[in-house]
Chains A and B, each alone.
Chain A
Amino acid sequence: MKRQYKWIAFLIGFILMFTLGVEITPLSERAIVAGLAIDYVDDAFLVSAQILLPSSDDSKSSGIAVSSAEGKTIGEALAKISSETSMLVAMSHCNLILLGEELIKDKAYVALDYMIRNAYLSENALILTTEGQAKEILSAKTAYSDMTSFYIQRELMVYGNYKEAVRRNVKEYLSSYYTHNSANWLTKVKMIEAEKPQMGGSSESSGSSSGESEKVYVFDFSSCAVIRGNDYVFEGNEEVISGINFLYSKLNKGDIIVSDGHATYCFYIIKSNGDLSFEPDNYTAKANVKMDVILKEIISDEPLPFSVSDVEPPSEVGELVKNYVKDCVLTAFETSRANDVDIFDLYGGFYGKKGKKWLELESGYLEKSQMQVEVDLKFF
Chain B
Amino acid sequence: MSWPLNRTLTGLLLLIATNSAYCETSAAPFVSGFDRFARHAEIEPQTGGKLLISELSCTACHQTQRPDLQPKRGPRLTGVGDRLQRKWINDYLASPHSTKVGTTMPDLLHNLPENKKQQTIKALTAFLMAQHAEFPTIKATGANPVPHEFWKKGNVDLGQELYHKIGCVACHEPDEAYEPGETKISPTDKMLSQLDPEEIKELGLAATVRPVNSVPHGNLPAKYTRKALTFFLLDPELSRPAGRMPNLKLKAVEAADIAAYLLRNQTEANAVSDTSNNAALIAEGQKLFTGLKCVNCHEVQNRKPEQYAKPLAELNAQATHGCLGKAQKDVPYNPLDQQQRTAIQQALDSLSQENNSEPKQQLAFQMLQLNCYACHEREKLGGVGFNRKPYFETANHIDLGDEGRIPPTLTGIGYKLQKKWLAKVLNGKGDIRFHMQARMPVFPEKQVTSLPDRFENADQSQKPQQDEKVFPDHEKLASSGRIMLETGCIQCHPIRGESMPGVVGTDLGDVTNRVHAKWFREFLLDPGALKPRTRMPTFFPDGKSQNKALLDGDVDRQIASLWSYLKAGPKQPLPEKILAEKSKNYELVPETRPIILRTFMQEAGTHAIAVGFPEKVHFAFDAEQVRPAIAWKGRFLDAQGTWFIRFAPPAIPLGETPVLFPAGAPFALLKDKNQPWPVSAPDQDDVQFRGYRVDAAGIPTFLYRYQQFEIEDRLEVTEKQTLKRQLKIKNNHSSGAPGTLWFRGLTGKTLKPLNPGTMQNQAGLSVSISKPLAKAGELRTNDKETDWIIPVPAADNTTIEVTYQW
Tell me, yes or no, whether A binds B.
no
B interface residues with partner A (beta carbon < 8 Å):
none
A interface residues with partner B (beta carbon < 8 Å):
none
